[in-house]
Structure formats: structure tokens, C-alpha cells
Amino acid sequence: WAEVVERWVQRCAAAIEAERARGAAPAGPPARDLAIGEVATFRLTYVLPEGQTRGLVLSDLLPLGAGGTLGNVSASIVSVGGAISGAGVPPAGSSIAFDSGTHSYIATFGDVSVNSGSTEADRTIVIEVNARASDVVENVRGLTPSNRADARYVTTNQDGSTDNYLESAQVGVRLV
């Protein structure tokens, strides 16, 4: 099991370093190591489909408990593509509130429209989350707390029926 986890950590570290190399993730401590008190920066990039998306909510669930704990520091919207519009779409630079009940940052965009024929960059929302390795008994050397990002939304089909979607991604950091 330890070998499986170690290979997974290596793949996560490689992905983070690749994102840093292409300028899509900020510099920081080595991707795979985080000491108590240090801050990890997670960058969530979500590309919306063209057309109407209802009830869009992007969230970042920080790990809490026996698998390791990362405490909240800050989160903000880095960018909102130019083809994305809607009454509830917050502008770039907006802070995202932390919900202590769910241990999550939650950004509610509501109903959004994306112009047809737009580029991927113009359909992209980027959020940055900063989390600190908490000084708690659960955080021991070698643990790999896993941070999870979710996108929830509803689409309407041609026949008028609706589909609810949940898309998730996870990444971990190793405590040293």
C-alpha cells in the first residue's frame, strides 16, 4: 500500500511542477512536501461549456481529520473568461468566503451564459486557494492530505428535462 501511495504522491508532485513550469500554478515550496505551518496554494481551473449553465457552484473542500488537516488561509477568483456572463458572476479579484461547517471555500456563480464560438480561455474560471498545514495531532509526518475541488451545475436538455452534474478533482500534499 505504501508503494501505491508513494507513486501517487510522485505523480501529483510531477503534475504540480509541470503546472508551475508552464506558468499555470504559482511558485511555492516543493510540490510534494509541506511542513506544519507552511501554506499550500491550489489553483482550480474550470472550463465551462458553451451555452447556458444553471446553478454553477465551484467549491474547494480542504482535508480535515485523520487523513490530515489543512486550515483555511484565503481564496480568491483569479480570472473569469470574457465569454462568461451572468448576474451572479463575481469579478476577478473577489475573495471567496470560507464555510467552516463544510470546511470548504464556496464560490456561487448562479446562472451563467457562455458565448457560442468562444475560445477555451474565454470560457475558463480560475480560483486560487491557500491552505496551511495545521498544527493538530492528526497531522503526522508522511500523511498525504487530499484537497478536493467540485463543480456543480444543472443543464437543460432539448426536451426540457434537466441533468445535475458534479465534477471533482483531487490533489494531495505530503506532510514532512
Q: Which of residues 49 and 112 earns the better pLDDT score?
A: 112
Name the more confident of 102 and 36.
102
Residue 154 in grid coordinates: 444543472
Neighbours of 139 (CB within 10 A): 20
Residue range 105-149, pLDDT digits in tens: 999 999 999 988 999 999 999 999 999 888 887 777 777 888 888
Q: Is 122 helix (H, G, I), strand (E, B) or coil?
A: helix
Single pTM value for the model: 0.75
pLDDT mean across residues, the chain: 83
Percentage of residues in the chain having pLDDT higher than 90: 32
pLDDT tens sequence across 10-23:
666 677 777 777 77
Instruction: Give mean pLDDT, residues 38-57.
Output: 88
**Taking the chain, what is the end-to-end CA distance rounded to the nearest angstrom?**
19
Identify the pLDDT of residue 31. 54
Q: How confident is the model at residue 6 (pLDDT cuts 50, 70, 90)?
A: low
